[in-house]
Copies of this chain bind each other. A is one copy, B any other.
C-alpha cells in the first residue's frame, strides 16, 4: 500500500524552503510514500531543484493562511489556501494524511470543518510524544481545548491509547490522568469525575500522575485539559532552553572551561540528541475523520521530516480505524451497563 501525504507547503516560519526540501527527503527515505505539495506553484518549484521525483506532485493553491489569522476568517475567506486544499485532498480520499506547520488555531478549525469528527468524539485534541526516563509518553490535549468536561478527558484517553496502541504495537497502553497529587481526593471536580469514568472505561488506567511523573514515564498516555497541557509543554520547552543557555554560558566562561567543553563535546552531543525536540516534532490532531499532523512552526527540514514520518506511520498502522473501534466498544459497554442497571 502506498501512503499519500498532502503537505501544506506554505505554512510555518520558513514555508517551501523547509517543507519542500523535507518532502523530497521524505519520498527518498520511504519507498511506500507519495507527497502532494500544496501551495503556490511558483514558490514551490524552485526548491525542487529540477529533481524528477514521480512520487512528488504539486497541487497549486493560490492563498496562504497567515500565522496570526483568525481561524474564522481562514475558513470563510480563504477557500483556496494551501491548508484548506491539503485538507480537502484528505476528505476526498486523494491523500491519507495532511501535514502543516501553519497557524494551529486555523488548522484545528479548518480540519474540523472539512473532515468532521469521528462518531462519539466531541472535540479534536492535540497529542504529542515527549521523552521520558524510560522511553516516551504521549500527552493530550496540548492546547486545543481550554475547558474540558470529564467525558472529554475520557475521549482523549481513548484516542491517545488507540494512537499508542497502533504506532507502538501495544495491546493495552497504560493511561494516566495529570493531577496535583496521586491520591483520589486530589484535584478539581472535573479531574475527580474523570478518574471515576476512566476506572470504568476498560482502558488500562493507572490513576493520577503528577507533573514529575510525566517525565518518569509512569504511563504511556497522559491526559489533561488543553490549558494545563499547553502550560506543561511550554514550561518544559522554556526550561530546556534556559538550561541549555546556562550550560553554554558555563562552558564558555574562560579558556579552561572552553577546553573542558571540547572534551565534553561528544558526550553533550549524545545527550542533546537524546532529548532533541526535533525528533519529537509532529503533534497529531486526534478525533477527526482523517489524519492531520501539526508541525512546530519553526521546524527545520529534519524536524518537519519527523512530522511527515509521524503522519505516514499513523496511516500505515490504521490509527483512525482503531479509534473508531475503541469508541464503538465503549458505546456498547455503556449500553450494556445501563441495561444491567435497569
Beta-carbon contact of B227 and A212 below 8 Å: no
Which of the segments A94-102, A256-264, A285-293 contacts the partner chain? A256-264
A211-B235, A231-B228 known; A187+B133 contact, CB < 8 A: no
In the bound assembly, the distance between CA atoms of A240 and B147 in angstroms comes to 29
Of all chain B residues, which has the CB nearest A231?
B211
Which of the segments A48-56, A80-88, A243-251 contacts the partner chain? A243-251
- Which residues of chain A from 227 to 278 have any CB-CB distance to chain B below 8 Å in the complex? 227-228, 230-243, 245-247, 250-251, 253, 257, 259-261, 263-264, 266-268, 270-271, 274-275
Say yes or no for A216: interface residue by CB 8 A criterion: yes
Which residues does chain B contribute within 8 Å of A261, judged by CB atoms? 264, 267
Beta-carbon contact of B180 and A133 below 8 Å: no
Of all chain B residues, which has the CB nearest A145?
B188
Interface of A is mostly: helix
In the bound assembly, the distance between CA atoms of A133 and B214 in angstroms comes to 24
Say yes or no for A18: interface residue by CB 8 A criterion: no
In the bound assembly, the distance between CA atoms of A275 and B244 in angstroms comes to 12
Beta-carbon contact of B180 and A242 below 8 Å: no
Say yes or no for A210: interface residue by CB 8 A criterion: yes
Which residues does chain B contribute within 8 Å of A213, judged by CB atoms? 234, 238
In the bound assembly, the distance between CA atoms of A260 and B263 in angstroms comes to 5
In the bound assembly, the distance between CA atoms of A121 and B232 in angstroms comes to 28
Most chain B CB inside 10 Å of its own CB: which residue of A238, A251, A268, A270: A238
**Of the residues B132, B212, B263, contact of A237 by C-beta under 8 Å:** B212
A188-B146, A213-B238, A230-B211 known; A267+B271 contact, CB < 8 A: no
Say yes or no for A307: interface residue by CB 8 A criterion: no
Say yes or no for A226: interface residue by CB 8 A criterion: yes
Most chain B CB inside 10 Å of its own CB: which residue of A132, A191, A271: A271
Of all chain B residues, which has the CB nearest A237?
B212
Of all chain B residues, which has the CB nearest A104?
B181
Beta-carbon contact of B133 and A242 below 8 Å: yes
**Of the residues B147, B214, B250, B259, contact of A235 by C-beta under 8 Å:** B214
Given contacts A215-B235, A215-B241, A240-B243, 11 further A-B contacts (CB under 8 A): A215-B239, A216-B238, A216-B242, A236-B236, A236-B239, A239-B240, A250-B267, A260-B263, A260-B266, A261-B264, A263-B263
Chain A residues packing against B (C-beta within 8 Å): 131-133, 143, 146-147, 178, 180, 187-189, 191, 210-216, 224, 226-228, 230-243, 245-247, 250-251, 253, 257, 259-261, 263-264, 266-268, 270-271, 274-275
